Structure 1
Amino acid sequence: MRKYQIFIFFVFLSLMGISQEEEEQLEDGKISATVINAQTSVPMESVHVVNLNQVRGTITNENGQFSITATVNDTLYFSFLGFKSQKIRVTNDMFKFKDTKIALTELAYALEEVIVTPYQLTGYLEIDVKNLPINNAYQYSISGLSVSYEAGNKNPSAVTKVLGAILNPADLLRNLFGKKPNQMRKLRKMKEDDEIRNLLASKFDRETLREFLQLEKVDIEDILNSCNYSKSFIRTANDLQILDAISSCYEEFKVLNRKK
């Protein structure tokens, strides 16, 4: 009977130890998992992993493993060039078990035909420079305004935008940002996280920005248009440049809003 009681006592201690370990893991707020190729099951290195709720980022190591701060019901966003991005909801099981695997599916890309326009070059620098096209992307700036406005062929409405900024600089921005305070507060956190910045610098599709800010691509373009960025910039800039542009415009809005 006594041996049976001793056995029960040690089982109880073991269960307490396991329970305490699980509680420490949950309190620590770190989850670990492995990212693999869905077709080959091979671990994937340098996959970007972002917690969309807490605005934190990391990348997988050479074994496809990562660790990131999270809480239950947070959304993790996985991105890797040539693979379909994926979102995963954090569950209790992800804290309890270390063998969680996230599989990414490879995409098939078809390269579009690129047409190179030839220039008649002579080999003499003084002559060839005159034959190259000139980008007339002029800028207007007015004393008292902190921003300049792109003009020339790429933005012929620059004068109108300057006048609009002088006459009513805050109302337009208030319409853009006033209804999205929670999303806009994420901008500063996104700019402070190096892994998120590295991810955005490699992307041009606005997909990650849409997930972070809960905005449609057309909404992002409307914001940039209203903040006086040219169509050329909106079309060609990478996602990090777009983030910095929206953030700059938002900071300007907050300053104008405080002055009212």
Structure 2
Amino acid sequence: MKQLVTFLFSVFFVCQIASAQDVISGTVMNAANDVPLENVHIVNLNQVKGSTSEEDGSFKLQATANDTLYFTYLGFKSIKVRVTNDWLKYGNVKVKMTEVGIALEEVTVSDVKLTGYLEIDAKNIPIYENKRYSISGLNIGYEAGGSSPNAFNKVIGSIFNPADALNNLFSRRERQMRKLRQMKEDESIRDLLGSKYNRETLSAMLQLSKAEIEEVLSRCNYSEDFVKTATDLQILDAISGCWEEYKLLQRNKN
């Protein structure tokens, strides 16, 4: 009995050590002056866990050896850092981020000249709409974009051959697509994606290029306007919905 209690205590002690090693700590700093950076978003791309740095730049995050952490902060170059055994063993590591210059492109604004006649001016002012078609028998809608002349044809084409249109994209990324639900459930990741529009973090987590993300959404009949203006969180939800529909179609097909 005494030996059993000793054995159980040893197992418990080992488990406690192992679990403690699963949480790493570090400090995020500005590479130029070593000033701590607050509210830096850190995402474990392997375990789909997120965190943010404190006022003193410190952070804690669940991770194991060889996991990749993705650091992103407005005005700084995003970086990936590999978790090493030394990091797990010795604790706090300083992660330094490099500030980047932002060059604003020249934008030309074209004025709409009004004549004062309502019938004429109404035709000259551009109106952009994003329409979503609802088809009887389907519990989902299909967004077809503004005044595209082939909008309805795109909808019909996607219904008759939706699985084949997405198969090449999703079949090669099935492992990454399985992370979608985890990403949606992690509050830190949702907060991060809800404030971003550049698709960088989303691309890193899903291992999809920006072009592939746009292609997925296009295949799922989201308008070009939505793709350009939606937050990364909205894009995540759209891809997740598309993935769930794709899986259902594949099951029915098989």
| TM-score, structure 1 as length reference | 0.81
Q: 105-114 or 53-62: which moved more?
A: 105-114
Amino acid at match of 1:160: N
String of CA shifts for 1:228-258, please: whole Å, max 9, x gaps: 1122222222211211111111111112222
How far residue 147 of structure 1 moved from its aligned partner, in angstroms, is: 2.1
Tell me which residue corresponds to 1:217: 210
How far residue 203 of structure 1 moved from its aligned partner, in angstroms, is: 1.9
How far residue 179 of structure 1 moved from its aligned partner, in angstroms, is: 2.6
String of CA shifts for 1:5-31, please: whole Å, max 9, x gaps: xxxxxxxxxxxxxxxx99855432000
Contact persistence 2:45–2:68 (CA under 8 A) = yes
- Over the aligned positions, Cα root-mean-square deviation in angstroms equals 2.6
How far residue 222 of structure 1 moved from its aligned partner, in angstroms, is: 1.3
Cα 1:245–1:216 shift into 2, 3 Å: same
Aligned residues: 235
Q: Name the SS of the counterpart of 1:170 in structure 2.
A: helix
Tell me which residue corresponds to 1:27: 19
Tell me which residue corresponds to 2:8: none
Identity of aligned residues (%): 54
Cα 1:36–1:257 shift into 2, 3 Å: same
CA distance in 1, matches of 2:186, 2:149: 36
CA distance in 1, matches of 2:96, 2:40: 11
Q: Name the SS of the counterpart of 2:179 in structure 1.
A: helix
CA distance in 1, matches of 2:211, 2:149: 21
Greater Cα radius of gyration, structure 1 or 2: 1
Tell me which residue corresponds to 1:8: none
Q: Could you list the runs of 5+ residues in structure 1 that have no partner in the other structure?
A: 1-20
CA distance in 1, matches of 2:231, 2:220: 17
Are 1:65 and 2:58 an aligned pair?
Answer: yes
Amino acid at match of 1:71: T
Q: Name the SS of the counterpart of 2:141 in structure 1.
A: coil
Are 1:205 and 2:203 an aligned pair?
Answer: no
Are 1:41 and 2:34 an aligned pair?
Answer: yes
| TM-score, structure 2 as length reference | 0.83
Q: Name the SS of the counterpart of 1:148 in structure 2.
A: strand
Equivalences for residues 65-104 of structure 1 within 5 A: 65-104=58-97
